[in-house]
Structure 1
Amino acid sequence: MIRDPLKLILPLAVFVAFIAAWEISVRVAAVPPYILPAPSLIASTLKADWPLLSASLLVTLKTTLAALVLAVVGGVALAVALSLSRIVEYSLYPFAVVLQVTPVIAIAPLLLIYMPQDLAVLVCAWLVAFFPVLSNTMLGLQSVDRNLLELFELYGVPARPSRRARIRSRLKALWYLRRPAALPAFLAGLRIAGGLSLIGAVVAEMAAGSAGAGSGLAYRIIESQYRLNIPRLFAALVLLAALGVALFLVLSVLSRFLLRHWHESALPRGG
């Protein structure tokens, strides 16, 4: 249920006005379709080429979701290891930073040389999505109130604890204290990683497409550009944008569902 209808009405009104202005401008100025197609032509092209574009959409969607799942699993696991051990943090975190700051467009051609095309595209998408999950989860795990940690250890560790008791206490603190505190930061990183995994998949598909291979939406964009099939190019762009928006909305709904009863970011304003 939408509490404020303006949140839905205003964006829809602006979007409809933009599409109408686009359609009218193209028709009045008689702009050729190979320069700027009208929205009606893009819609008809999307309908006519749907078998081809839907298959490419499925390829890109599979790559994006697989990269996002791998980024979540790897990012959370490494964040937990880094938060529990300073030695692991000092040893591995710089390498994660190096992977993040290196442009994926520069890595993609090398991966396409050393790996099969599908695997190279997946690795590129994973590299882009991995660091936001890692950094945000680490931030959440390390942002627990120190007083609460000390109180937790005070009640959970005996006077002369053994090494096993200390490890058990740290694991309990991780599960019962650090995990809930890190959830909002993790979900924020997950929303960022969702969009970045799609970007990484598109960049890698473009690199693969320029080498004469590929079947995702990015490859269809390059193919349409070479053939001057601009309406199909715009149709593929529309599908990419719709995929990105749908992914963001799903992750936003998941975030609100998990935080709706206890975190300030998900509580109704003024309530």
Structure 2
Amino acid sequence: MWEFLVWFYEVPHYLIPAPSLIAKTLVQDWSSLMGSAIFTIKLTLLSLGLAIVGGVLMGMLFALSRNLEMSLFPFAVILQVTPVIAIAPLILIYVSNTFFALLICAWLVAFFPILSNTAIGMRSADHNLRDLFTLYQATPWQRLRYLLIPSALPYFMAALKIAGGLALIGAVVAEFVAGTAGTNTGLASRILESSFRNEIPRMFAALFLVSMLGIVIFLATSWLSRAVLGHWHESEIKREG
């Protein structure tokens, strides 16, 4: 329908390019766009990995120590509610390496869902099971391994689906704010560069790759959630009918 309407109304390509022209541009600029896509993928996955490590570890500490949670959780909330587009210029000023500055921005966006859901999940363990572990004098490691972590897994997997998309959004927004240019940059730079040069088909091609990357991340995290929870948790058990 898009292709037909653009052809029927003779819409100029600098307003809305036809899908065929976008596909042609994608093929012609494949090397440049894929290099930028790899940069964005690396930035997104690194920030997501750091968010997982930091969020899970801190969430575990919060679940085990109420005082520590009351001391540090407000700072995590402040970082979450402050738009990354507002603090990205400061990060770019204080961090000399542009890639690390972009990484921090993307990490800030993806970190809070992991932290919050992990802490809530660990505190959501059934109180009867908690009493049972206490009755049998379970060690802190046994309590963590056999009670708290399984209880937090569904919450963590839900947070992972959210954080994956947020890491990509944070990476793109940070690069928009940074206004980086050159060959070793991401898809956001290609979008900015194309808009400045009025190369709208190339801009749509870069936007298409960003969207595809987001879809792949969501599908991957959904598959991981089914693989981890599918055999035992109600949210992922397959039902007939």
For 2:234, the equivalent position in structure 1 comes to 264
Q: 37-46 or 145-154, which moves further after superposition?
A: 145-154
Q: Counterparts of 1:74 and 1:270 in 2: how far apart (Å)?
A: 38
**Does 2:31 correspond to 1:51?**
yes
TM-score by length of 2: 0.97
The structure whose Rg is larger is: 1
Q: Counterparts of 1:176 and 1:260 in 2: how far apart (Å)?
A: 18
Q: Counterparts of 1:36 and 1:42 in 2: how far apart (Å)?
A: 10
TM-score by length of 1: 0.86
**Does 2:107 correspond to 1:137?**
no
Q: Counterparts of 1:170 and 1:93 in 2: how far apart (Å)?
A: 23
- From 78, 101, 105, give the equivalent of 1:120: 101
SS of corresponding position for 1:120: helix
**Does 2:31 correspond to 1:61?**
no
Task: Kindly indicate whether the alpha-carbon contact (under 8 Å) linking 2:181 and 2:189 is maintained by their aligned counterparts in 1.
Answer: no
SS of corresponding position for 1:266: coil
Instruction: Write the mapping of 1:82-97 to structure 2, written as runs, cut at 5 A.
Output: 82-97=62-77
Q: Percent of counterpart pairs with the same letter?
A: 57
Aligned-pair distance for 1:136? 0.7
**Does 2:79 correspond to 1:109?**
no
Opposite residue 122 of structure 1, the aligned amino acid is L
**Does 2:196 correspond to 1:226?**
yes
Q: Counterparts of 2:240 and 2:119 in 1: how far apart (Å)?
A: 31
Count of matched residue positions in the alignment of Structure 1 and Structure 2? 239
For 1:183, the equivalent position in structure 2 comes to 153
Aligned-pair distance for 1:269? 2.4
**Does 2:11 correspond to 1:31?**
yes
How far does the alpha carbon of each residue in 1:185-206 deviate from its partner, in whole angstroms, 9 at most, with x for none? Answer: 0000011000000000000111
Aligned-pair distance for 1:212? 5.2
For 1:166, the equivalent position in structure 2 comes to none
SS of corresponding position for 1:265: coil
Runs of 4+ in 1 over 4 A off after TM superposition: 211-214
Q: Counterparts of 1:29 and 1:83 in 2: how far apart (Å)?
A: 60
Gaps of 5+ in 1: 1-20, 158-168
Task: Kindly indicate whether the alpha-carbon contact (under 8 Å) linking 2:106 and 2:170 is maintained by their aligned counterparts in 1.
Answer: yes
Instruction: Write the mapping of 1:115-264 to structure 2, written as runs, cut at 5 A.
Output: 115=95, 116-156=97-137, 169-209=139-179, 215-264=185-234
Superposed CA RMSD in Å reads: 1.2
